[in-house]
Amino acid sequence: MISILMETYDNLTVELAGSNLIEASAGTGKTFAIACLYLRLVVEQGLLPENVLVVTFTEAATKELKTRVRERLCLFRDFSYGIGKGDEFSAALLNGANPWWPGREAALERVENAVRTFDCAAISTIHGFCSRALQENAFESGSLYDTELVPDQTPLIREIVDDFWRVNFFGDDAPLLATVLRKKWLHDEMLRFLRGKLANPDLEVMPLFDRDQEESLSRRCHALYDSLVASWHADRAELENILVTHKGLSRAKDKYRADMVPGLLAAMDSYLAVGNPFELFEGIEKFSSDFMES
């Protein structure tokens, strides 16, 4: 059972052990609080900058955090030596306001060490920390030493879509181009589609075909298409008569309407005249399904 204790936050008295969730809205002093807690970790627990991990979201926030944390360490050091102006927090900490105070001499030594080694501070963006962790633990993580984490994947996604377009739609053999253009599955639409799928690491694209299977399916589609062309030429008139006059067909508006037939027949004529089995026209799937149900 997990119990949650809600209390008013205080930079000076909050315990540094365990897990603490601090809720704060914009402009309430989050950066100031982080700098104060950082100073306490150095003074009270003797941690060096390389032992304290601070992560945030943006490069700008990281830069500000580094500046503010170092300023806080220097301010406390100078104030302790009486050569600088402190603030209420530094004064209270220096006077031993909480039970974790290690004493003036130990506190000053720890802060001096922290300032000298601050270049080793582990303050970074989330993706920067992840990149560093992967590089420093390449064998354990199974990653490459030159692994690069990309915070903005848009250029990479655009490159993938560009390559897909060039491979599938720029050559002489592009049987799906007409369908793609008609349905407006254009570059930007594919970009949005791909970006929406990247958040699912377990996504599997089905079906998966190798090159030989694709060629076999293509040959089968063309053979069936040729058979359909022959049947259409032989039986078109009879089929049109059935669709228009047969009393066994449902005339429900949401299933089948006779006024749709001329347009669909004309579209079928055009489809079979093109010679491309993959250039399906709008309505053919719904019409076929409704007709079979009737």
Chain segment 213-244, per-residue pLDDT in tens? 888 988 999 999 999 999 999 999 998 888 88
Question: What pLDDT, in 10s, does the model give residues 236-292?
Answer: 999 888 888 887 777 666 666 777 788 888 888 988 998 888 887 665 545 454 444
Query: 119 vs 279, which has greater pLDDT?
Result: 119
Whole-model pTM above 0.75? no
Are 124 and 52 spatial neighbours (Cβ–Cβ below 8 Å)? no
Q: Which two tokens stand for residue 78?
A: 């100078």
Query: 176 vs 213, which has greater pLDDT?
Result: 213
Predicted confidence at residue 126, as pLDDT, reads 87
Question: What pLDDT, in 10s, does the model give residues 126-175?
Answer: 888 888 888 888 788 777 777 776 767 888 889 988 998 888 888 777 77
* Phi, psi (deg, nearest 5) at residue 230: -65, -45
Predicted confidence at residue 224, as pLDDT, reads 93
Quick one: average pLDDT of 80-103? 89
Query: Which three-class secondary structure string do you get for the chain?
Result: CCCCCCCCCCCCCCCCCCCCCCCCCCCCCHHHHHHHHHHHHHHHHCCCHHHCEEEECCHHHHHHHHHHHHHHHHHHHHHHHCCCCCCHHHHHHHCCCCCCCCCHHHHHHHHHHHHHCHHHCEEEEHHHHHHHHHHHCHHHHCCCCCCCCCCCCHHHHHHHHHHHHHHHHCCCCCCCHHHHHHCCCCHHHHHHHHHHHCCCCCCCCCCCCCHHHHHHHHHHHHHHHHHHHHHHHHHHHHHHHHHHHCCCCCCCCCCCCHHHHHHHHHHHHHHHHHCCCCCCCCCHHHHHHHHHHC
Are 108 and 77 spatial neighbours (Cβ–Cβ below 8 Å)? yes
First to last CA, the chain: 60
Quick one: average pLDDT of 178-182? 78
The mean pLDDT value of the chain amounts to 84
Nearest partner of 281 among 292, 265, 259, 294, judged by Cα: 265
Which residues lie across from 123 on neighbouring strands?
54
The Cα–Cα gap between 78 and 81 comes to: 5
Rounded (10°) CA dihedral 5, 6, 11, 17: 20
Whether 294 has a pLDDT exceeding 50, the answer reads: no
Whether 201 has a pLDDT exceeding 50, the answer reads: yes
Question: What pLDDT, in 10s, does the model give residues 45-72?
Answer: 999 999 999 999 888 999 999 999 999 9
Whether 191 has a pLDDT exceeding 60, the answer reads: yes
Provide the residue ranges of all domains of the chain, joining segments of one domain with +.
30-141, 154-197, 211-293
The Cα–Cα gap between 159 and 191 comes to: 10
Predicted confidence at residue 118, as pLDDT, reads 96
Quick one: average pLDDT of 26-33? 87
- Which residues, including other chains, have CB under 8 Å from residue 80's CB and lie 6 or more apart? 90, 94, 104, 107, 108, 111
CB-neighbour burial class of residue 180 (10 A; exposed 0-12, middle 13-18, buried 19+): middle
| Domain over 30-141 is classified CATH 2.60.40.10 | no
Predicted confidence at residue 292, as pLDDT, reads 44
Predicted confidence at residue 283, as pLDDT, reads 58
Predicted confidence at residue 254, as pLDDT, reads 66
Nearest partner of 112 among 50, 42, 54, 65, judged by Cα: 42
